[in-house]
Amino acid sequence: MDKKAEACNDVDRWRSMLCMAAVLCCFLFIIPNSALAEGGKPVWTPAGAAPEGFDWIQLANGEWFKGDLKVLYNDSLEFDSDEVGLYQFDWEDVQQVICHQPQSVRIESQNTKEKDLFNAGGNGRTVVGILRIRGDRVFVDTGEGVEEFDRSNLVSIAPGKARELDYWAAKITLSVDIAAGNSEKEDYSANANFKRRTSLTRFYLDYRGIYSETEGVKTSNSHRANSYFDIFSTRRFFWRPVFAEYYRDSFANIAHRGTIGAGAGYTIIDTAKTEWLVSPGIAYMFTEFDSVQAGEDKSTSTPAFVFSTEFDTELTNKVDFNALYNFSVVNEESGRYTHTAKSGIEIELTGRLDLDLSIVWNRIQKPEPASDGRAPEKDDFYFFCGLTFEL
């Protein structure tokens, strides 16, 4: 009997140890992962009712961020997070998206027969509703039912029912260089960039102004504004029904130069970290000179072939590299060939403040001589170091 009692006691002892181990595992693994965050604070989990007042995204490493989803373009998700502020997440790093307000979701056709490169709008559609993304599946609750799509067919996301202001993004860069004493020098430059983005269209406006003065003598004074409007046909192809540029530089003998045209574009590289697009077009250019030699026309116009390319890549989480190159082939009187090239590095300082280092190269192949017979230099080079504010 003593042996039997001892055996029973051993069984009871093992049962007790297993129960204690089960309880310990519950506290160590189940509860922290489902209901507690670091520090023992409760966190929201996907189960249950839809969130109110904010959106949620989950990264591939399991982290959740709450805030407002701004836009998804070119595999970059712009999200205004309560934790990190306005931030761009690589789309490949986002595992889940849960929105609380309707979103405008652009879906590329899943029917390969409809993917006609030149059939704008005919190979995709826009769906508006409450958005859920889980893994490689996209769900949109339109109010009349839930539509499901493959994530690879997702082109873009923008606010579905929002204020007009929600479609806009702006960046303003200012740089100042002032010297006093044995030499007096003042350099000012300003760059303002505005974008309006929906799931189907993109509007772009960029202005750069440069003014320099040395020993009280003006040494540079130029202004350039570019704008275009794009309509996405597929994930990579877009129409550019209108683009325009205004340029003025008294030291290049350009009083006013205006260009307007139309074209198309294609995104050659479209990854989470890198984007490279090209856009050719046909345009009309009008130029008025500050002064000309006797007997020469003070203004001229020409048809133009215009080509532009933009390249952006993420070097690190805090450093981005960007480059832009535009050239125009025009008639002899308008300069034969003109171009502007820009490259730069943006270093993130805070969520809305960047350090901007950039170089700009402007060239007119055959500049028009002024009234005194002297022709301006073909090339102008500028280096800028300034602060960029994101609005």
At 298-345, the pLDDT tens digits run: 999 999 999 999 999 989 888 999 999 999 999 999 999 999 999 999
pTM score? 0.67
The candidate with the shortest Cα–Cα distance to 160, out of 199, 107, 204, is 199
19 sits in which H/E element: helix 2-25
pLDDT at 108: 77
Residue 42 has a pLDDT of 45
CATH H-level superfamily of 167-390: monomeric porin ompg (2.40.160.40)
Beta bridge partners of 288: 256, 299
Would you state the pLDDT for residue 232?
Answer: 84
Q: What is the amino acid identity at position 374?
A: R
pLDDT at 104: 85
Question: In the predicted model, what is the mean pLDDT of the chain?
Answer: 82
CA distance 58 to 40: 20
The lowest-confidence range among 11-20, 127-136, 261-270 is 11-20
Contacts of 51 (CB under 8 A, 6+ apart): 44, 66, 98, 100
Written as one letter, the residue type at 124 is G
> Domain boundaries in the chain?
55-161, 167-390
35: part of which helix (H) or strand (E)? Answer: helix 31-35
9: confidence class by pLDDT, cuts 50, 70, 90: low
pLDDT for res 2: 53
279 strand-pairing partners: 308
* pLDDT exceeds 80 at position 220: yes
pLDDT of residue 286: 97
- 9 DSSP assignment: H
